[in-house]
Amino acid sequence: MHIEKNYFDNLFYTVIDVKGKTKDNPKARMDIKEYCRRKELWLQELQNGKIVKSKASFSFTLDEKREIIEWVKNLRMLEGYASNLGKRADMNEGKLIGMKSHDCHVFMETLIPIAFSHLPERIWKPITEITLFLKDLCSGKLLGSSLDRMEENILVTTTKLEKIFPCGFFDVMEHLPIHLLQEARLGGPVQTRWMYPFEIFTK
């Protein structure tokens, strides 16, 4: 539950580029210059001495960001499937506020591929792969052969994401999905263990 929420927060706010929440910050850019050859992500120093962070290929422009937040604001989901996500959209700040664990679960597994469809394919595809991985992991029926295949795929997907996002994006949460498969083998389908139903009833 909370792994998915934390992963969503890191991914969404980095792509939307929300100040204070994005993992693509000046410190992460300094690390890129130190450890990586992706010069397009290096901080640039202007003639007046001001340091500028260039727009990354994995982030949206201001207009694109507003378009996504407006889309979420006007979005209507089936009753019982998700809460009213439109109430979470803050047009002034250009971000989502008060997202609960289940809101992030629904957004991560069904809406991220649509919301991020304007990204270049080389970026959109690995992001979609991680959402599909989580969706498969949360399915009601898990086969041993499927888990073996998913275990191979998540390693490749994580490697693809490491080629896109800065080093600072990857904390413990971005690598935990690799270990969730072993937990699924031991505990079975996640529906018997997650707390979403109790969250809904205690609202």
pLDDT tens sequence across 22-77:
998 888 888 888 887 788 888 887 778 788 888 889 999 989 999 999 999 999 88
Q: Give me the pLDDT at residue 3, please.
A: 87
For the chain, the domains span 9-201
Q: Which long-range contacts (CB under 8 A, 24 or more apart) does 135-142 make?
A: 135/109, 135/110, 137/177, 137/180, 137/181, 137/184, 137/190, 138/105, 138/109, 138/190, 138/191, 139/189, 140/189, 140/191, 141/189, 142/184, 142/188, 142/189
Residue 199 has pLDDT above 80, yes or no: no
Q: Give me the pLDDT at residue 203, please.
A: 59
